[in-house]
Amino acid sequence: MIRGSKTRRRLVVRCLPALAVGVLPVLVACGGGGGGGSPTSTPTPVTETVSGTTTSVAPGSCSANVTHNFNVAAGTTFQVTLTQSGDAAGLMVQVCPGGAGSSDCTITRQSIAVGATLSGVRSGGEVQNLSFIRKGCAGTEPFVAGPTTYTATVSYQRP
């Protein structure tokens, strides 16, 4: 009996290196090596038409009655084309992360005429807010009271 135990022990000891070599690659191949992560996705090109009304009450006092939010992929370009405006002078436009109060805008507030296109590479967070205001609200253009409508086309890449 003692003799049989030694033989079994030697067999097991001799087989352990072979088992380790055979099992280790299987464990690593099955995810034992860790380091998993979420798969990366390719941004999707999107073109949308938006419309709304913007109102000016007094010089320096304007309201973008409608703002438009878009999820924009990092490192990609956001483009806006003003296709129609009830104000012949055109409008002011801006695209900022999280709304109009941001100082880190993709398109800083600037004038846009009907038919013109402005673009910028996404700055700040994923959610970008597009807003239009009348020219007399900001800048050197003469003030015109009341509401005006607009239609615009936007192009961007969705994450």
pLDDT of residue 150: 96
Residue 128 in any domain: the answer is: yes
pLDDT of residue 136: 78
pLDDT of residue 25: 46
pLDDT of residue 148: 92
Q: What digits encode the pLDDT tens for the residues 12-26?
A: 445 445 444 444 444
* Contact between residue 122 and residue 76 where contact means Cβ atoms under 8 Å apart: yes
Do 126 and 51 reside in the same domain of the chain? yes
The answer to whether the predicted template modeling score (pTM) of the entire model surpasses 0.75 is no
pLDDT of residue 101: 62
CA angle 127, 130, 136 (to 5 degrees): 150
Residue 39 in any domain: the answer is: no
CATH code for the domain of 68: 2.60.120
Residues of the chain with pLDDT under 50: 7-13, 15-16, 18-34
Cα 87 from Cα 32, distance rounded (Å):
64
Do 27 and 99 reside in the same domain of the chain? no
pLDDT of residue 63: 74
The count of domains in the chain is 2
Do 55 and 14 reside in the same domain of the chain? no
